[in-house]
Structure 1
Amino acid sequence: MPSVAALYRYPAKGFTPEPRDDLLIEPDGRVQGDRVLAFRFATAATPQQRDGLDYWPKDEGLALMQFPSLARLRLQYDSGTRRVRIRDGERVLADADLSADGRRVLEDAVTAFLAGSPDAARIARDGILPLRLVGDGVTSRFQDRPRGYVSLHGTASVAAVDGAVEAPVDDRRFRSNIVVSGTAPWEELAWTGRIRIGEVAFEVQNPIGRCAAILANPDTGERDARLLRTLTAHFDQAAPTFGVLLLPADGPGRIRVGDTVSVG
């Protein structure tokens, strides 16, 4: 039977995954502590509205899709003190809280890093600077879709992709919240209806269409694998797809590493 192999949340959009032993699924279907901060472009520091919900389009803020160099940085967020620490290797670029002054320190550090990276031309485009660090550090809101969703993929699917390219491919490329083992490659893409993970029942929504974010090596920040083409050409997909989106079907709850996954 499939089971949960790993759990992740991503405190800041586009930055370091935080491995977790458990995740709390909130009533609105998002993961507590997931994407509670985001660096937004100067012209997009307030949300849009879509379907009656706040929406922060990923192409109007820092994301791996446009800025693969971000993958090289290591961001740690202490939710208790609401303090952010950003490193490039062993070098600390910034260590600050979420006060107005602290946010400026973090914004300036990330801007300086990108200005000296292969993404320098992108950060210099009109409307991007000055970057604005938004979010209260508590409320999960900066997912790619207005509804949020919880994301899931299988370890066997990762292994299939890894075997098809020369560059290293692991779970980090796909930035899911839930990673499951005990499935066949691509099995999760065929799931429909309701599944249960530990104490939470989910409704499977749809497979996840993928963008250029998965091209970025999570250690070097370089685009080193043509994974979008690999998914379509090697695996005969109509469009590059990896993993599935979920919404809780019976309210909030907690899921844990080792929980069984009941399908159907």
Structure 2
Amino acid sequence: MATVTSLWRHPIKSHGRENVAATTLIAGQTMPGDRVWAVAHEASKADGSEWVPCANFNRVSKVPQLMAMTAKLDDAGIVTLTHPKLGEISFNPDDDIAEFLDWVRPIMPQDRAQSKRMVKVPNRGMTDSDFPSVTLCNIASHRAVERALGMDVSVHRWRGNIWLDGLAAWEEFEWMGKDVRVGGAILRPLERTDRCPATNTNPETGVRDADVVSALDSFGHRDFSVRAQVIQGGLIELGSKAELI
């Protein structure tokens, strides 16, 4: 039986991470407060009417410095972002975001489509999967990647939601299509999370400093974590147990 060791949400896609002590999942939805908003660039076709692929948004794979951002979402919908080069900003992503666009501009590559507007889709977070998903991450798999790299790397490179300890490395890949009880919720992993060069970026500095993708290649795949659908909602908190049912 595995144990929940940490819970993370990312209020604005690719723009910061936030540690939470507990979350109450809702059937058929993403983790509350996770990827509620996404930052569309100048060439994006996203209009907020439906889910669209990540290519429509500015993200770490194209803007590495975004990885160094942390976030906090309060009950009033105010997001506070902090970055080592930019300082701190607090704003409501549903309002005029001109101040945010000015704040983030210094870390945007000049040869990259610039951030233009905030997108929010009704009743789901803007996850990379085309279904509302919650990612389950295995600390033993992370340690296997560290051994392949020959160095310690932060778990934040994976930008996952629920971290589990007590499993064998890559055991989570055996859960496809099976129901897993995590705390008071039931989740069903439906796909492995394919990885891109975003994971090569250091979450403290925003600098690409490790070839994580090549380390994954040594295991015969480029996947880390599993994307799960919430079948039954319920409370998950630090120390909650996770097991196949």
Give the TM-score taking structure 1 as reference length.
Answer: 0.83
RMSD (Å) for aligned C-alpha atoms: 2.3
Unpaired segments of 5 or more residues in structure 1?
Answer: 123-127
Question: Structure 1 residue 153 and structure 2 residue 137: aligned?
Answer: yes
Equivalent residue pairs, number: 244
The residue aligned with 1:83 is: 78
Is 1:189 the counterpart of 2:173? The answer is yes
Aligned to 1:125: none
Match of residue 94 from structure 1: 89
For residue 186 of structure 2, give the secondary structure of its aligned residue in structure 1.
strand
Could you give the per-residue CA deviations for residues 3-30 of structure 1, whole angstroms, max 9, x where no partner exists? 1111111111002221111122123231
Which residue does the alignment assign to 1:120?
110
**Which of 83, 95, 100 is the aligned partner of 1:106?**
100
Q: Name the counterpart of 2:228.
A: 246
- Bigger Rg, which one: 1
Matched, 1:69 2:65: yes
Corresponding residue of 2:204 = 219
The CA distance in 1 between the partners of 2:48 and 2:119, in whole Å, is 14
Matches within 5 A, 1:52-63: 54-63=50-59
Q: Indicate if the aligned counterparts of 2:29 and 2:123 stay in contact, CA closer than 8 A.
A: no
2:57 corresponds to which letter in structure 1?
A: G
How is 1:21-40 mapped onto 2 (pairs within 5 angstroms)?
A: 21-40=21-40
CA positional deviation for 1:129: 3.4
Deviations 1:27-59 (A, max 9, x none): 32311111112111123263488xxxx222211
Counterpart in 1 of 2:241? 260
* Whole-angstrom CA distance in 1 between matches of 2:120 and 2:189: 28
The match for 2:185 is: 200
Question: Runs of 5+ in structure 2 lacking a partner?
Answer: none
8 Å Cα contact 1:5/1:258 also seen in 2: yes
What is the rounded CA distance, in whole Å, between the counterparts of 2:134 and 2:76 in structure 1?
Answer: 26
Q: How much does 1:90 deviate?
A: 7.5
- Describe how 1:123-138 pairs up with structure 2 within 5 A: 128-129=113-114, 131-135=116-120
The whole-number CA distance in structure 2 between the counterparts of 1:95 and 1:37 is: 15
Task: State the one-letter code of the partner of 1:245.
Answer: R
More moved, 207-216 vs 139-148: 139-148
**Percent identity between the aligned chains?**
25
